[in-house]
Amino acid sequence: MKDSKKTNQDSNDGKQKDLDADRSNAEGQFLTTDQGVRINDDTNSLKSGERGPSLLEDFILREKITHFDHERIPERIVHARGSAAHGYFELYKSMDSYTKAGFLNNTSIKTPVFVRFSTVAGSRGSTDLARDVRGFAVKFYTQEGIFDLVGNNMPVFFIQDAMKFPDLIHAVKAEPHNEIPQAASAHDTFWDFISLMPESMHMIMWVMSDRAIPRSLRMMEGFGVHTFRFINEKNESHFVKFHWKPKLGIHSVVWDEAQKISGKNSDFHKLDLWQAIEDGHFPEWELGVQLIPESDEHIFDFDLLDPTKLVPEEIVPVTIIGKMTLNRNPDNFFAETEQVAFHPGHIVPGIDFTNDPLLQGRLFSYTDTQLSRLGSPNFHEIHINRTIAPMHNNQRDGHMRQEIATGRVSYHPNSLGGGCPFQAKIDQGGFSSFNERVDAQKIRERSGSFSDHFSQAALFYNSQTPTEQEHIAAALSFELGKVETPAIRERMLGLLNQASAALAAKVAKSLGMTVPKIPEKPINHGVGADDAGAHEPVKAKQSIERSDALSILKNPNSSKSISTRQIAFLCAEGVSGASVEAMKAALEKEGAKAVIVAPHLGDIKTAEGSAIPADQTYKIAASVLFDGVFIPAGKGILELSKIREVKEFLNDSYSHCKIIAGEAEGAQVLGDINDIDEKDGGVLAGSSAGDKNLAASFIKALGNHRYWEREKSLS
């Protein structure tokens, strides 16, 4: 009897193993749900009309995203690595003509905020300087409830429909068979996906640009990404795009520098934000909006509901309406930064959604994710997530409940509790969704107005300076050079060619390939799929050819401020104290910070017989952690040209196009470094200690961030 049971068990185990083997080998198989139902369209969510809202009954979308949302515990699946700070938002002028949101009407109040910045692809332990999108999420604690503006440092996204979000993240994450590479997109699975998704081409330009490797979280823009609605007291609607403009301007590092920073200090951005606030250099951003009347929804050569498109500022200017200041670091990283729960569905009266199919999917996904991460529907009761507005409802119990509800009534309607809590009328602040007409059939299709995948990719590339264009070409060459599958590289060259033939040619040359004359058709619904909802990718003519707002170097909001910039003073015994103090005073007057780097810690004796305390040694310091270099005067300084670490420091600074200045003997040291051209416009020399002209020139040059012309001579 026992033998018979064992035989049956062995047989069942064998069948299960065979079934598992069949499931793991998808070659020639149909795509199905977890219940085995064959999927006809894995690209589009179910909507009410091709531009209508997504429908909750879409069991395929819900199953796919639910599974995705619960894949990691407790670390965030995306945006796992984050930094955050407290602050406040002040309104410059009332927006009551456009929205009834109280915090956007009253200029006399300061609205508390909590802001979390993050990278998307890496784990909590990954580096800050990965080439990646940066999350820019702002929680407004308004008097009418929580408003979460959950965006990124780029105004567009890779995909148009939430149905493809799990696929995008699965592709960019470390490959599942070996968990390599970490926090990097330079691998086959990511580019395989992108090469088959032409709608990603605009976002690819942004991610391959310098926007993906910011100098500081304090020096990057933020965007709401989606088109939202403002609703005023008259129930009039305006479409709105949200923008955050950093007061310090937009600045980035170069790719070689980013890689070296990752090795020298993987917490570079986190420490930079923390230290700036601790030092009283509070980061500031101005909030701007692009406002579009409801009647103008269809006047553009792109679709407002398409999250892979932006509205050029030359067409609809950004109106600055307020300022956000971050002035306090978290007291506990886990309790605040890690447990904060953002959600694009957290809105207040006066703000509403549109039918952007990516936004519609996010409205479901974020709550589902918090249930997994924080383990309870009561995540709103965690201190960092609590609203400052009065909160009364009939929700009860649940895991980790904090509120102690009293009374016998926990339902509505009721008479035993006097009907309380009762519903608020609209004129009492009750939330009411915009009364948008929807009259359409249920379909899995995408609007033809979403099919232009290359025009804005071309607009972005054409708007860059030659320096920035070279950086994009170099980034693509690096990323695709890491791809092992030739067919993927070829498909990408075909897509790049439709955005910019010049760019495709540059990348092809670096890969030792030719640009295909006829690109492979990238849309592939699979065997037996219904292609009725598919639209051939097109490139429509745009009303503008260039936009300075898309370039970091040409950006009209760029700042010349050197506030909080870190300047390395390379010193040695016998340095001129007068030289050090004069330049230090000039830089600190502009808000920059001088860091004394010397052969050893402790006091450094000056030529005048005094002492200067060293902040770092040459064994600790690295040029990539500084924004500029100054070599003071003093006979002892001549010894620097003999120190290997100093040579490496200066050569790296020079190759990264940083501004370098030297006074007297300091200038002589620069002349002794073979790889540095003294005639270079970003290499400044002063003839004597305390040279005021040198200080003025150095500060002006630092305001330009880098001397990019140097790249031509280094290439």
- Assess contact for 628 and 565: CB atoms under 8 A: yes
CA dihedral 619, 621, 622, 624 (to 10 degrees): 170
Q: How far apart are CA 128 and CA 258, in angstroms?
A: 9
Exposure class string for 506-525: b at 16+ Cβ within 10 A, else e: bbbeebebebeeebeebeeb
> What backbone torsions phi and psi does residue 634 show, to the nearest 5 degrees?
125, 135
Q: Is 79 a catalytic residue?
A: yes
Amino acid at 80: A
DSSP strand E in 122-276: where?
Answer: 134-142, 145-152, 222-223, 228-231, 237-246
Alpha helix ranges (H) inside 246-356:
255-264, 268-278
Residue that is written with structure tokens 């003509």 in the block: 97
| Token code pair at residue 424 | 């608020």
- Assess contact for 39 and 163: CB atoms under 8 A: no
CA dist list (Å): 205 to 100, 188, 313, 455? 37, 18, 18, 12
Q: How far apart are CA 217 and CA 82, in angstroms?
A: 11
- Assess contact for 545 and 514: CB atoms under 8 A: no
Q: How far apart are CA 343 and CA 341, in angstroms?
A: 7
Active-site entry in 44, 79, 153, 329 = 79
Active-site entry in 44, 86, 105, 152 = 152
Q: Is the peptide bond before 516 cis (omega within 30 degrees of 0)?
A: no
Closest CA to 192 of 212, 213, 161, 170: 170
- Assess contact for 213 and 250: CB atoms under 8 A: no
First to last CA, the chain: 80
Under DSSP, the state recorded for 42 is S
Q: How far apart are CA 700 and CA 680, in angstroms?
A: 16
CA dist list (Å): 249 to 221, 245, 537? 8, 8, 35
Which residues participate in catalysis according to the annotation?
79, 152
